[in-house]
């Protein structure tokens, strides 16, 4: 398995947690996008490495953010009706 860089791993995790814990629906979309961007940057940095725990965590986090974005979109659509 590939080595990870703790500082870079902490950055995307911090942004991911901030998005997942955000309660203000006006701020949430920006937090989701910021976290997704950090995850994509980190995935790019790791693309030449073998599958690692961090790579699997990145995929899981991106899926969770996509689910959260879909739930937010549905909530906003329901609120508009």
For the chain, 81 residues long, give each residue's pLDDT as a single digit of tens.
Answer: 445 567 878 999 999 999 999 999 999 999 999 999 999 999 999 999 898 999 999 999 999 999 999 999 998 888 776
Domain that holds residue 26: 7-80
- Measured CA distances, 9 to 38, 59, 75, 79 (Å): 10, 13, 31, 36
pLDDT value of residue 6: 73
pLDDT value, residue 64: 98
| 65 inside domain | yes
Residue 42 counted as domain residue: yes
Is there a domain that residue 51 lies in?
yes
How many domains does one find in the chain? Answer: 1
Residue 2, domain member (yes or no): no
* Closest C-alpha among 79, 54, 38 to residue 2: 54
Answer yes or no: is 26 within a domain. Answer: yes
Residue 1 inside a domain? The answer is no
Residue 4 has what pLDDT?
52
């Amino acid at each position: 398995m590939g080595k990870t860089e703790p500082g870079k791993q902490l950055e995307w995790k911090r942004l991911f947690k901030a998005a997942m814990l955000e309660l203000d629906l006006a701020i949430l979309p920006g937090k989701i996008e910021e976290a997704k961007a950090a995850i994509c940057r980190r995935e790019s940095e790791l693309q030449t490495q073998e599958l690692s725990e961090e790579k699997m965590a990145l995929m899981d986090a991106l899926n969770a953010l996509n689910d959260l974005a879909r739930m937010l979109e549905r909530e906003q659509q329901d609120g508009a009706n």
